Amino acid sequence: MAFQFGYSNLVVSNGSTSNNVNMTADWIVVADGAWNTLRIPMTSTITIDKSSTTQTSTMVNGRDQAATFPVSTWIYIWAIYNPVTNTIAGLFSLSATAPTLPSGYTHKAWVGAVYSAVTTGNFVSFHQTDNRVVVPTSSPGNTNATTLTGITVADGTVSYCPNSAKTIAGWIYCSSTTANAYRAITIACSSATDSLGSSDTSGALGGAGTSTFGCLFNLPLIGTQLFVKANNADTNVTIFISGWGY
């Protein structure tokens, strides 16, 4: 399981091209294979790039493999440290737990994740401050079910949220085929009858098909799905994801 040791003023975001990411911090805590930790200053911006066509093995500030990364996948961002040269650097890996470190780099810290887009492989837009990430809003789906129904948001392959996230944020809204109706909608962390972490909202709809109310949510991510329902089958509930937390 991916987790972070510690940092101060960590910022990770898209770099100057669609293939790189910038990382800054006052300091970051890294650990070796025996879990011995060090707090290392990060005195300048680290740029990690996945686009090298010449690397033959894991590379500092590049990929941890010679092969290019596939499209439509989550790529994990690591800080790595060489204690002999006192060098802090970055690394991309398909692994959230065990990247292949370059020679001399004995310490590491998992930082976050970025999605490699469908077809192009370009990184999607994101901005991470400490353990909070915001992304352009996107929708994983909708339903008109009247019992809590799962919509996949983070199974490790979909682009809405990495499965290494601990919380997920966004909003839901409803529309109805019935005009001037009063409807209620719910979003929850699980399908259990006690509706773990549920958030409910209700309101009056105007003209048929008009989306007139919704609610924001920021919920723990339990598994790979969020669960939503409406109080009437004529009401469609749509989820939008805008970010997550580690």
Q: pLDDT tens for residues 210-220?
A: 556 678 899 99
Q: How far is CA 207 from CA 63, 177, 204, 210, in A?
A: 53, 8, 10, 6
pLDDT at 209 over 60: no
* Cα–Cα distance measured from residue 149 to residue 123, given in angstroms and rounded to the nearest whole number: 31
Residue 175: band (very low, low, confident or very high) from pLDDT cuts 50, 70, 90: confident
- pLDDT tens by residue, 76-128: 999 999 999 999 999 999 999 999 999 999 999 999 999 999 889 999 999 99
- pLDDT tens by residue, 11-44: 999 999 999 999 999 999 999 999 999 999 999 9
pLDDT over 90 percentage in the chain: 66
User: How many of the other CB atoms lie within 10 Å of CB of 42?
Assistant: 20
pLDDT at 202 over 70: no
CB 175 within 8 A of CB 236: yes
Give the per-residue pLDDT at 53.
Answer: 87
Stated as kind and residue range, the H or E segment containing 23 is strand 20-24
Place of tokens 């699980």: 190
* Cα–Cα distance measured from residue 217 to residue 237, given in angstroms and rounded to the nearest whole number: 14
Average pLDDT of the residues in 67-72: 94
Average pLDDT of the residues in 226-232: 88
pLDDT at 200 over 60: no
Residue 208: band (very low, low, confident or very high) from pLDDT cuts 50, 70, 90: low
* Cα–Cα distance measured from residue 127 to residue 136, given in angstroms and rounded to the nearest whole number: 10
CB 178 within 8 A of CB 131: no
* Cα–Cα distance measured from residue 104 to residue 81, given in angstroms and rounded to the nearest whole number: 8
Place of tokens 């990929």: 63
Give the per-residue pLDDT at 4.
Answer: 77
- pLDDT tens by residue, 157-167: 888 999 999 99
Residue 194: band (very low, low, confident or very high) from pLDDT cuts 50, 70, 90: low
Q: Quick one: how far is CA 216 from the chain centroid?
A: 18
* Cα–Cα distance measured from residue 97 to residue 110, given in angstroms and rounded to the nearest whole number: 8
Give the per-residue pLDDT at 243.
Answer: 97
Place of tokens 């008109």: 144
Give the per-residue pLDDT at 174.
Answer: 82
DSSP string computed for 31-99: E-TT--EEEEE--S-EEEE---SS--S--TTSBSSSSPPPSSEEEEEEEEEETTTTEEEEEEES-SS--
CB 178 within 8 A of CB 208: yes
Place of tokens 């109706």: 181
pLDDT at 197 over 80: no
Nearest to 118 by CA among 59, 58, 81, 73: 73
E strands present in 104-197: 107-116, 127-129, 132-143, 149-152, 167-176, 182-188
Give the per-residue pLDDT at 230.
Answer: 86
Handedness of CA 123, 51, 78, 156 (dihedral sign): positive
Tokens of 193: 């009858």
